[in-house]
Structure 1
Amino acid sequence: LGDEKLSHDFSPALRLFAPARDECSEALKDRMPEEGEKFAVLMPGSEWETKRWSWEGYREVAKALIDRKMKVLVCGNSKERAYNKQVSENLDVIDLSGQTTLQDLMYLIKNAALVVCNDSMALHMASAFKTPNVAIFCATSPEFGFGPWMNSASVVVQKEGLYCKPCRRHGGHICPTGTEKCMKDLPASDVIRAIDNILSI
């Protein structure tokens, strides 16, 4: 670049290439929504417990999306099956926990009408694909630079006014105050309101 200065609105670009529908795994092909059908991807899990919004909240979000006539897919890795089951049990959703490859997940996030997730890989995929996204930040903060980027159809929802938040840059396994207020005190109504705002765009 020599002596040239970058403009303040310079943003890095990330190009991801999602697989075609027929390149997805056989396990997903048997359960994925019909081509052209609107669907939402929910990813309730996280490697770090303090970045994980309550399963009860995700369950309320799933119910709200079902009421809005949207197909709901719950995704996550095999370690998140038990947690995600609490979200999906006895609801008309497709629980794909532990059943998708990375390529499958890329296809789903690329083609979803909406992604609802914690501060996790899913929000960065949604940013790269410019998929409408509601990103839930519990113990962490998007101000650290890990929030949605280059995605005008992305909204951050978090509990404001907590003296202890953010407690760590990347989250942790245990709440240092023992209260878990950033996870427990964020109402589902805030997330559902953000979803309705995005879907109305």
Structure 2
Amino acid sequence: LRDVPTPFVAVAPGAKWPTKRWRPEAFAKVIEKLVDRGCGVVLVGEEGEEEFSDEVRRLAGRDVPSLVGKTDLPTLAGVLSLASALLGNDSGPVHLANAVGTPAVAIFGPTHPKLGFYPLEGRALTADLPCSPCSLHGEGPCRRGGRMCMHEVTPDEVLGALEEFLFK
């Protein structure tokens, strides 16, 4: 992390259930804009999320370090405690960031932001759809098809939320 510009955002693009993952191209757009503004970005996540995270990195077209699958829980907590913010889906890193006092911008689709560690230190972004939330943990298929709850949250909304914590 010594070579990562500050402020830096930890980005956790993974989630246990694919239905809870924001689109890789949307994560990539946010990363691209953050890096272009001089902000550092570090990808984080657990073992098994490398392929999805690598796709995000490739689409971003920026050389950002990845710690995906390379940290244990205490090390991840340490990384998150140094970050200015975390960007992620409804997933473990969001809750861990909250536990260490790092604001999280979390994208919720099939699940509800008030389930888990509430109140969230940061911002929960959701699409205002009548079908969302539709699941307790996000494990089922989208009943309407297309996962609109995850597609309607835009990179610009996410950037606006992150700016609250990065560029005060």
Structure 1 counterpart of 2:127: 159
Residue 48, structure 1, aligned to residue 48, structure 2? no
CA contact (8 A) 2:111 2:138 kept: yes
Highest Rg: 1 or 2? Answer: 1
| Alignment partners' CA distance in 2, 1:135 and 1:82 | 21
| Alignment partners' CA distance in 2, 1:34 and 1:85 | 20
Which residue identity does 1:41 align to in structure 2? Answer: A
SS in 2 for 1:142: coil
Which residue identity does 1:182 align to in structure 2? Answer: C
Sort the Cα spacing of 1:128 and 1:92 in 2 relative to 1 into closer, same or farther, 3 A. same
SS in 2 for 1:79: coil
Q: CA deviation at 1:57?
A: 0.9
| Alignment partners' CA distance in 2, 1:191 and 1:158 | 10
Sort the Cα spacing of 1:176 and 1:35 in 2 relative to 1 into closer, same or farther, 3 A. closer
How many residues matched?
166
CA contact (8 A) 2:8 2:83 kept: yes
| Alignment partners' CA distance in 1, 2:105 and 2:120 | 14
Residue 88, structure 1, aligned to residue 57, structure 2? yes
Provide the TM-score with structure 2 as the length reference. 0.89
Provide the TM-score with structure 1 as the length reference. 0.76
**Residues 71-96 of structure 1, C-alpha deviation per residue, up to 9 Å, x if partnerless?**
11111122111111111123121022
Which residue identity does 1:184 align to in structure 2? Answer: H
Structure 2 counterpart of 1:133: 104
**Residues 113-171 of structure 1, C-alpha deviation per residue, up to 9 Å, x if partnerless?**
1111111111111111111221111111113x3254263xx0111111x1211111111
Which residue identity does 2:43 align to in structure 1? Answer: V
**Residues 46-100 of structure 1, C-alpha deviation per residue, up to 9 Å, x if partnerless?**
0111211111111111112102211111111221111111111231210222111
Q: How does 1:30-45 map to 2 (within 5 A)?
A: 32-34=1-3, 37-45=6-14
For structure 2, list consecutive stretches of 5 or more residues without a partner in the other structure: none
SS in 2 for 1:94: coil
Q: CA RMSD in A?
A: 1.9
SS in 2 for 1:125: helix
Structure 2 counterpart of 1:170: 137
Which residue identity does 1:33 align to in structure 2? Answer: R
